[in-house]
Every structure is written in structure tokens, then in C-alpha cells.
Structure 1
Amino acid sequence: MNAESPKITPERPVIRQLDEAAVNRIAAGEVVERPASAVKELVENALDAGAARIEVAYADGGKTLIRVTDDGCGMTAEDLPLALSRHATSKIDGSDLLNIRSFGFRGEALPSLGAVARLKITSRAEGAEAAAIAVAGGRMAPVRPAALTKGTVVELRDLFYATPARLKFLRSDRAESQAIKDVIQRLAMAEPGVGFVLRDVTGGGEGRVVLRADVEQGDLFEALSRRLRSLIGPDFADNALPIDAEREGIRLTGLAALPTYSRGAAVEQFLFVNGRPVRDKLLIGALRAGYMDVLSRDRHPAAVLNLICDPERVDVNVHPAKAEVRFREPGVARGLIVSALRHALAEAGHRASSTVSSLTLGAMRSEPAGPRIYQMDRPSQTALRAAYSAQAPLAAEFAEASARFDPPADEKPQAHEEAIETCPLGAARAQLHENYIIAQTETGLVIVDQHAAHERLVYERLKRQRAENGVAAQALLIPEIVDLSEGDARLLLDHAEALSQLGLTIEPFGGGAIAVRETPAVLGEVNATALLKDILDELHDLGDSQRLQSRIDAVLSRMSCHGSIRSGRHMRPDEMNALLREMEKTPLSGQCNHGRPTYVELKLSDIERLFGRT
């Protein structure tokens, strides 16, 4: 404790003005964290220039070369030195820092890159001659004539050569290459009308194409769906729901996947604000809340969502890399995302993702035990007829067994059976192991987990009753007093009305004290202090709290689990069919309360492939 502080010197420190090169290197430390950061800045510049096609080439994970070529508006010879000057930009005039409609606006990227690497810009504006300028370690060369048809080519070599200490913090070439691909992928999702090509030219030459996204035509959802197919594969697009909602001047568009198409990590969550890729905790929290009671805690939803609003209602200048934003009305933005997702998921009804059946077929398909049988080696038709005749007694036994599953004709006419087979989940044919319902559809069969399906049906019924009748509150004989800071108490009291609708009644008790008068009856005995602090944590972090509702939903989920059809219970055909019809008209019945599928559908063509009949 007695050691002299290293910040205290015997002499008064002298204030110095840093030179331009030092200022740009410091700025580069904030703006350019790694090669992917440089790619992001350069590609965003190309998009701001109105480019329709952008090609990015890199070598050694971007450490030795990054080259971005675009067909945008270009720059004149007079523009080039200004483009490399700090805080020089064509995108804003400086009079209004809130009305920002472009990716870039600070004028920091190019001078920062020129301070830590060898940068060369070749550009040609319409009606002007092409010109080039180079800068290395902050030293700018004069503008020279160049050859270029249209647009701009930015070539960045030897990143961080002027600040070698930064090179030690870079990861392997493979990791840096993946980060570059992720950046291009996100920007390509935001701009389906722009073509992107990403090449790895390590070793010279044309290199190999790492990513290609051609220009997509059509309306918003068609173009986005096709772009996502090329970027992250068809599974997401096949199992995603279109999102298009608006509230108080903020619009949400995009695609959100079904709950049964969930991921083990947040690898397919792509969020945008006015087309700008962001990683904002408010938006991530809202996305999670939208899937709150259809996913377990260890699963993550998949979505590509874009919030569109007036630029003056969102501040994009709160993070050096512009990765975070701040909304003027965060509650409106969050509420829009949550309500839009829940509405879309409810509209999906009993639908489950197609990947469930694909995984089922993969699990059922076994490796061939012997050599492949070609057509010329198959038994003749005469041999097959003889084999079928030998199996005739077995056919009679199968007919007798199937009669035990089918009700008598007078009880359920054949016409009715054919009618319910046309329903999405078909007609119940059997129950296996007193747990799985086998139903026949027009195009295949459906296997239903009776307990998981009925659990979701009961849960949705309990939620409807709660919405209609409210949450019953239990008055405390002696109110519980919770001491908080005055700021926290005010924050909680601002949400007192919303909490009251969930059965939690709070009142001011002087200073920072809160009196808890009532708690939700369904929760039983509650530690009011711990509950309020949990709610406060969410309010501070996200601006809203779902903690109380999630706890009530968890209780309803447990109640539905205990009140549903148990595994091992024999069900009559009419009970099984009634369960199938209830599933078809109940929202979210394609997954149980924990996000697992309640049924698997197998097409007849898939079943025939399993038996080699195709």
C-alpha cells in the first residue's frame, strides 16, 4: 500500500499535441481490430458508393493482402487526397449527426488504414480520368494517372506493419479468413440486390472462390430467401417464417425459423438496423423473448431480422465499430420484435421443421450389410410371384392384426376415414408402446409423441385462460418491504402497472423502499426481494423484464406436464384422432414446451427410399 504510484511523477507532466500519424494509429486501434474490420469498412464504403457488384480478395487471412473492387460512383483525382484525410467524408455535412443514412460517416477508416498498412486506391468517376494514390505508414505519395474502367479498387497490403505489436494479437490465418467470410456474409444478407464475390488468393493467381452471392431479383422475401439459400443453405429458408410487422413508425422485416429448427449456439442470428449489421443486446434479448416458451434454455433461435425506422430515432454513433445502436424508444423496438415473432409462430400452427424428418430418416438408414445388388442381379418376376404365394398365410395374420386397430365399419364409416386422412396430421392407425401414435396421411405417415403433444395443448389452454381471466394474486398478510436505491425503486414503480397484471402488486414505501402487497398465487411462497432484484437486473440490461412472466409460464408448463396424457396410457382410436385434430388447430403444437418436436412426418417417397423401392 505504501508503494509509490507509477502515475505520480516528481515533475509536472507536459501536455503535447500528437502528430497526425500518431492520431491515425490510435484511431486504427479502435476502428481496425483485425483484417475482418478492414474488410467491413472497405465494403461498406463500396455500398455507400452505390456499387452493384463487389469483389473482395485476400491472402494469408487478410494479413498480407486485402483488395476490394467495386463498380460504384468512384472518385476523381482531386477527391483522393481528401479521402485519405482524417474526418473528411462525402456522406454527411456535419450539421446533423442523427440523420445518418449511410454506413460510414466519420471519415476515419481510410486514414487509419493508411497509418498502419500500405494502402493504394485506384478510382475513376464518370466523366473523369482514372487516378491512383498510395500511402504507407501515414506517408502519402502524390496522385498519379491510372488505368481503370469504372468504380474503385482499394488494395491494402501488410496490415499492421507499422504497428508490429498488433500483429501478435491476430489469430491464425484460418480464423481470420473465417472472420472475413462472416463479415461479407452479413453484409450480403443486408443487400440482396448487390452481388458479392469473396476470393482467397493466398499463393497468387485467381485463387479460389470462398463465397459467391449473385444479384437477387424479386420482392423482399423472395430475394432474401434466395440470398440466404446461397449463404447459409436451404434448411433455414425452408423452415423460416416471413416477418413483416410495424408499430409506431418502426417496421420489422425478415425471416425467423421454426422453434424445432433451433441451434446449439447463436450462430444463425443475424440482426440489422436500417440494413446495418449489429450485435445489440437489446435486439438479442428481444429475439430470445420472442421464443421464450417454445425453446429450452440450451437452444438458440435462428433468424434474419431488419428493423427499419427513421434514422433520427436510432443513434448509430455509440460504438467505435458501429456494432451497437441506441434507440430513442427502446421499449417500442423490443416490443415490436417480441410481438411479431410470437404472432408468426402462433400463425404457423402445428408446423414443425423439415429437418426433423430428415434427421429421422438419417437415424433409420443403415449401412448396407452386403454388396450392392444391381438390376441384373435382382430375382426374376417368376421367382418373386412364387415368394409372394409362400407368404399368403402371413398376409391373413396381418389383416387380422390390423382389424384390432380399425374400429368397426358401423362405428366409423369408410368415407369418414378417407376424409380425416386428408387432414394435415391424418387418421390414427395404431398406438405403439402406449406412447406413439401412428397416423396415415394422404402422402405418408405421421408419428406423434402423445405425451409431448398433449402437454403443449394443455399449456396453450392454460395460457389462454390466464389471458382471459388474468393472473390470480395472493395478498400478503404482512407486506414485505424491500430496500433499494431511489433510482431502482423509481424504475420498478414505472413498471408497477405491468407487474400488477401479472399478479405482483408493489407500492412506494418512502425513500428507496418498496412494499410488496401481492404476489402471483400460482408461484406459491415467493422470495419478494430476490424476485424484484431479478426483475431490476433485466430492466437495467434490456429496458424490459420478462422474468416474472417466465416464472409464471414455467409453473403453467409444469402443471400442463402433470395434467397431460402420460406415457404408457392406452388410447382408443377416437381419442387419438381427437388429439390429432386438436393439434392441427392449436398454435405451436409442432413442439413441446421445451422446444422438442411433438411429431415426425415421413413422406411415402422417403419410406420407399428406405426400402430401396425407388
Structure 2
Amino acid sequence: MSRIHLLSPRLANQIAAGEVVERPASVIKELLENSLDAGATRIDIDVEQGGVKLLRVRDDGGGIVEDDLPLALSRHATSKIRDLDDLERVATLGFRGEALASVSSVSRLTLTSRAASADQAWQVETEGRDMAPRVQPAAHPQGTTVEVRDLFFNTPARRKFLRTEKTEFAHLEEVVKRLALSRFDVAFSLRHNGKTIFSLRPANTEQEARRRVATVCGPAFVEQSLQVDSERSGLRLWGWVGLPTFSRSQADLQYFFVNGRMIKDKLVAHAVRQAYRDVLFNGRHPTFVLFMELDPAVVDVNVHPTKHEVRFRDGRMVHDFLFSTLYRALADQRPGDAGAASDEPGLQPAVAQPVVSGLAAGVFSGQERMPLNEPAAAWNPAPKVPERPSSEAVAGVLKGYAELYAGAGEVLQRPELPAAEAGEAPPLGYALAQLQGIYILAENAQGLVVVDMHAAHERITYERLKQAMDSEGLRSQPLLVPESIAVSQREADCAEEHAAWFAQLGFGLQRMGPETLAIREIPALLRQADAAQLVRDVLADLLEYGSSDRIQAHRNELLATMACHGAIRANRRLTLAEMNALLRDMEQTERSGQCNHGRPTWTQMSLAELDKLFLRGR
């Protein structure tokens, strides 16, 4: 082997660039983070050819003084941290001092800046292999402009790995959107090849913030999302989570920020997945824009070169807080929940505080809940129409039409309701009829409500079974012959540490050796499950995330199957009283908007939508 030697500054910077500069989007991320750290209130981005030819970022931040300009392009030079204490409480987006040096080593970079206290702006230039910066006077308002031209011009091997202009710009635009969501108080504008892509004004009110989210994520997301804001034990979570019915086939509308930093974290993803497990259709992904705020000292952001990952000091507490907050927000969503008023159409969130109605408010007290296992009534098909109607039948039809037109001025009356129901209509309205033995048609204040009666009753039954099981607990069943399983020493230690927790869930575990566990008791409800594999999966979750809901998930799968078999079937004829009872139960049941499989249970058609169908008012 050759002798050990120091790398040249140029080569060292190019190696560092390989970590942080993957494509034009990587450069934009670093430049925008610098602008935000400098206190900018407006950032303008100009891009040409997907960012390969030109990337220009201009801000109105604090600027850089003349003497610091050459240093700004040096490695490990930063104004954001000074000692280890600062590193342990990082409050800025950037802190390593490598970004500009790495970018300048693979491009032609020009940095022009004027500090707030300076009388004149100054400009520094570098060009790839020639790392010596050149400083000269320039004209520029307060703030900084960074121009990056001909990215990877001196590293052709890197440049050939870039995708098409359209693809590279799509990645770049996504980065700008993420940072625009992270700072509502900053104005952003983006231009590509001279065309304005978007221009976002500062969002200083809740309504303006919703407007920015709608611009970035689409109005449909804001319309079909729940607004959350929860604080506990020094943690705060706020933002928007999409309704289960607004799920996606890909995980492409998921934004999570920790102290303003966009991250993608396995622990966060696991907590969100658990919160949606009971309401999301198989293979679909939830949508969310969430912000977590906590003490910078309890989160380590220095664990990844691109700072996309973080490490929490108490990961289990963060996981439980995320899960419980989102789980409760989704559970509390019921028919009739309405968002805060908004002056702008299409920007009203789908939920605010739950309203009290139906049985909980003492209304419809004369109605009974639907029996879970009542035998289905006999199905009586409608009489068939004669193939060749007789003259008497034709005369009868004509007479019926004449009577109909004669009474056209009379108002059709709603089926007679109990006196208690004469007040305001409940969220899901009053049942009118049953369609094909599958759907319930109801009328509420907005228009027509269509309910899938099997899916709705399935959710109601499922939630009641879970409540009954939670009140009674999971009873254990001893095994005649204990089952021995081989595990790692780390897993065996984990099982010993959480022995009491396993016992609460109905599992009796005993450590038989350094790498051996014995299963002596299992939950009676899960006696058909593969106990050994379930224990291994639970231990894997405990080691990875600090918690596990696999046992409860298996239990819920069985309860969901029971609920599906116990729910009313298609072609079951219901009376109006039974239909109204089902509607009232839906209004009081958690997660009643989806069945156990994540399918929607009801939908609303407003009068405006019905008028549009029939061209009324034209």
C-alpha cells in the first residue's frame, strides 16, 4: 500500500460534496436553509434547466460582512455553533459549515452579500478546481444572493447520473415546498426557465397558513383533513392529518417537521402507521403535515450527513405521544363535526370540536339500538310488472298520473317522527328509504346522505366488542406443554424487562437461559395464533421503537372478523325506526366514517351537487 498522506482541499471538498450534493435539489436545500438561518423574510429562487445550468437564491437576511466572505466558502467554517454545548442544542437548520464549500467544489459559485451594518456589498467567486476565492465590490441590497452555475461541470461522472430536466426540477420543487411549509412567516417565490411556478406570501394567520398548505398540498387535502394541536410533557404536536378516506397509493404527501426541520424518521413513521391501522384501507398511505416542537437538547440532529434523520433522547415517549394524539384525533371524528368558519371556499378543515347530538344529547330517546345478532327478516321482492300490461292497467296508470298532477301543489310530508325529533335535524338526518337492501337513504340539513348499512353496522359492532374486551381484559390460557423459543440475549433481556407488560397482555414468559424463553401462558383469544412468532415480532418492535401493539393488533383482527360476521347483511329489510337507530349509533361511535377494512361507511350529497346534476338554476 502507498504511504498515508493528506488529501488536497479540492479533493476533500469533492468527497464531501458526494455526501451532501446529490443533485440540484440538494444544493437548493442547503442554500435555502442558510437563508432561513440568516433571518430572511423573503426568498426568491430562479432555476434554469432543472437547476443544472443555474440556481440562484436571493434573500433579505442579515448578510455576510466582507472579511467573512472567503471564510464562508471554507470547510468547517460556520457562524452557527462555537462549542460542544451549541452542538448539543442546535437551533439552526445548518451547523456543519460544509455546504458552500462542497457546492463550490463542483460548480461555478458566486456569492454576493451586504450585511445590515455595511455601507457596501461584496462579492466572492470560486470556480470548481480553482478553490482560491476572489473578492470584489458589488451592488446589492441588504441580504445575500448565491448563484450556482454549471453544476458538476468538473465532475462529468457525477453529471451523467442526473435525470431529465423535468425530473430534476420536480425534486427541486419538492424541496422548496417542504421548506415553505416549515416557515409560514417567510415569503417564497420559484421561477423555472423564466416562468413563475408559485409565489407564496407570508402566512401569519391560521387562515393564511391553511391557504399555503392548500397551495402546496392541494385544496382537497385541507378539505379532507383534521386539524390537531396537542401538548404534553414538553412536547407539542400541531398541524393537519388527512382523513382515512383521503389516503394515497404512495407515501408522497407526508411532511413531518421537528423544530422546523423536515425529517423522515422510522419511529415517526411507525407511530403514524399505528394510529391509522384501524381505519386505513389495505395498501394505502396516510397524508399529513405535522409539526413537533420540543427542547433542542432532547433531540440529536447530527446523525446523518443530509440531516434528514434525527435521534430522540426518549424515543418511546415521543412515539407514544405521537400515536396517542393522532389515534384520538381520528377516533373523535364523527358525523356532524364541522371545521372553523373560513372566508375562503375549499380551505375549511373537516373537523373541529365534536358536537353532541343524537343519543348523547337525549334526542331520539324512544329509539332502541340495533340488536347485534337479530335474524334477518324475510326478503320480499317487489311484484313483477306484467310483460304485456292490460288495458285496465294502462287506465290505472293514467288515472294515477292525473291524480299526481292534480295534487302537485301539496307538500310531501316527512314520515311522522316522535315529538323529541321535531327539533334540529341530527348530523346524518332522518332515514327516508332503503335502496336494494344495501344502502340507507337519509335527509339532513345539507341534502342527501347515503349509508352502507353493513359497513356502518360492522364498525359499530367492532367498537362495542373492543370496549367489552378492554373492560374485561385479555384472559390467559395456560399451555399444557410450555413452548420454548430461541432468541438473542438482547431479546431475552428485553423480555425480562417487560415481563409485567407481557403479563397484562395475557402472555406468561419465563427466561430459561441466556438465549431461551419459555411461553407458559397465551391470551385465550389468540390460542390459534403462532405464539412463538408473535413474541418474536413483539420483541423486535420493543427493541426498535420502545413499544409494540402487535398483540392488540392480532386481537383486533379477530374482533374485526367477529364484527364482520355479526353485522347486518345485504337484502335485510329494515324499518324506518331501525334505520334511524343505526344512524344515531353511527353519530356516537368512534371512527364510524370507515368500516373495519378502511372503506367509507357513508357519503354526503349536498343540494348544490344535486341541483348541478339536474341542471337546476340554468
- Range of TM-score over shorter length: 0.7 to 0.9
Of 111, 120, 132, the residue aligned with 1:140 is 132
Of 63, 77, 91, the residue aligned with 1:74 is 63
Question: How does 1:519-558 map onto structure 2 within 5 Å?
Answer: 519-558=522-561
Contact 1:351–1:590, Cα closer than 8 Å, also in 2: no
Of 174, 184, 189, the residue aligned with 1:182 is 174
RMSD of equivalent CA atoms: 2.3
Distance change in 2, residues 1:488/1:468 (3 Å):
same
Moved more, 235-244 or 143-152: 235-244
SS of 2:82's partner is coil
Of 294, 312, 325, the residue aligned with 2:310 is 325
Counterparts of 1:109 and 1:239, CA distance in 2: 39
SS of 1:613's partner is coil
Contact 2:70–2:133, Cα closer than 8 Å, also in 1: no
Partner in structure 2 of residue 339 of structure 1: 324
Moved more, 239-248 or 128-137: 239-248
Partner in structure 2 of residue 384 of structure 1: none
Contact 1:258–1:352, Cα closer than 8 Å, also in 2: no
Of 61, 70, 73, the residue aligned with 1:84 is 73
Moved more, 523-532 or 539-548: 539-548
Of 103, 110, 120, the residue aligned with 1:113 is 103
Partner in structure 1 of residue 291 of structure 2: 306
Partner in structure 1 of residue 465 of structure 2: 462
Normalization by structure 2: what TM-score? 0.86
Question: How does 1:505-584 map onto structure 2 within 5 Å?
Answer: 505-584=508-587
Q: Percent identity?
A: 46
Deviations 1:387-422 (A, max 9, x none): x999544569999xx99xx76x5xx45x55543x61
Counterparts of 1:389 and 1:104, CA distance in 2: 83
Of 115, 120, 124, the residue aligned with 1:125 is 115
Contact 2:126–2:134, Cα closer than 8 Å, also in 1: no
How far off is 1:472 after superposition?
2.1
Counterparts of 1:389 and 1:79, CA distance in 2: 96
Please state if 1:426 is matched with 2:437. Answer: no
Aligned letter for 1:43?
L
Question: How does 1:38-53 map onto structure 2 within 5 Å?
Answer: 38-53=27-42
Counterparts of 2:479 and 2:237, CA distance in 1: 42
Of 561, 586, 591, the residue aligned with 1:588 is 591
Please state if 1:214 is matched with 2:204. Answer: no
Aligned letter for 1:17?
L
Counterparts of 1:245 and 1:496, CA distance in 2: 31
Counterparts of 2:89 and 2:295, CA distance in 1: 8
How far off is 1:490 after superposition?
1.2
SS of 1:344's partner is helix
Counterparts of 2:236 and 2:473, CA distance in 1: 30
Aligned letter for 1:52?
T
Partner in structure 2 of residue 31 of structure 1: 20
Partner in structure 1 of residue 450 of structure 2: 447
Aligned letter for 2:106?
V
Counterparts of 1:544 and 1:175, CA distance in 2: 39
SS of 1:122's partner is strand
Aligned letter for 1:150?
Q
Contact 2:336–2:428, Cα closer than 8 Å, also in 1: no
How far off is 1:253 after superposition?
1.3
Counterparts of 2:408 and 2:501, CA distance in 1: 60
Partner in structure 2 of residue 375 of structure 1: none
Aligned letter for 2:508?
T
Counterparts of 1:353 and 1:295, CA distance in 2: 22
Counterparts of 1:49 and 1:36, CA distance in 2: 20
Deviations 1:47-71 (A, max 9, x none): 0000001011111111111000100
Normalization by structure 1: what TM-score? 0.87
Contact 1:519–1:526, Cα closer than 8 Å, also in 2: no
Contact 1:239–1:353, Cα closer than 8 Å, also in 2: no
Contact 2:190–2:196, Cα closer than 8 Å, also in 1: yes
Deviations 1:230-259 (A, max 9, x none): 212211112221222223212111111111
Deviations 1:317-368 (A, max 9, x none): 111100100111000111111000011112212369999xxxxxxxxxxxxx
Counterparts of 2:227 and 2:141, CA distance in 1: 40
Partner in structure 1 of residue 188 of structure 2: 196
Please state if 1:231 is matched with 2:216. Answer: yes
SS of 2:161's partner is coil
Structure 2's unaligned 5+ residue stretches are 340-345, 347-397
Partner in structure 1 of residue 386 of structure 2: none
Partner in structure 1 of residue 362 of structure 2: none
SS of 1:593's partner is coil
Deviations 1:61-85 (A, max 9, x none): 1111100010000011111011011
Question: How does 1:323-472 map onto structure 2 within 5 Å?
Answer: 323-350=308-335, 391-394=401-404, 409=416, 412-413=417-418, 415=419, 418-419=422-423, 422-472=425-475
Contact 2:113–2:140, Cα closer than 8 Å, also in 1: yes
SS of 1:508's partner is strand
Counterparts of 1:55 and 1:187, CA distance in 2: 13
Contact 2:334–2:589, Cα closer than 8 Å, also in 1: yes
Moved more, 161-170 or 390-399: 390-399
Deviations 1:35-57 (A, max 9, x none): 10000000000000000010111
How far off is 1:212 after superposition?
2.1
Aligned letter for 2:107?
A
Aligned letter for 1:133?
V
Contact 1:350–1:587, Cα closer than 8 Å, also in 2: no
Aligned letter for 1:168?
K
SS of 2:532's partner is helix
Partner in structure 2 of residue 250 of structure 1: 235
Counterparts of 1:389 and 1:72, CA distance in 2: 82
Distance change in 2, residues 1:66/1:88 (3 Å):
same
Counterparts of 2:461 and 2:159, CA distance in 1: 58
Please state if 1:173 is matched with 2:160. Answer: no
Of 132, 145, 161, the residue aligned with 1:153 is 145
Aligned letter for 1:214?
R
Partner in structure 1 of residue 88 of structure 2: 98
Contact 1:213–1:231, Cα closer than 8 Å, also in 2: no
SS of 1:90's partner is coil
How far off is 1:499 after superposition?
2.8
How far off is 1:211 after superposition?
2.4
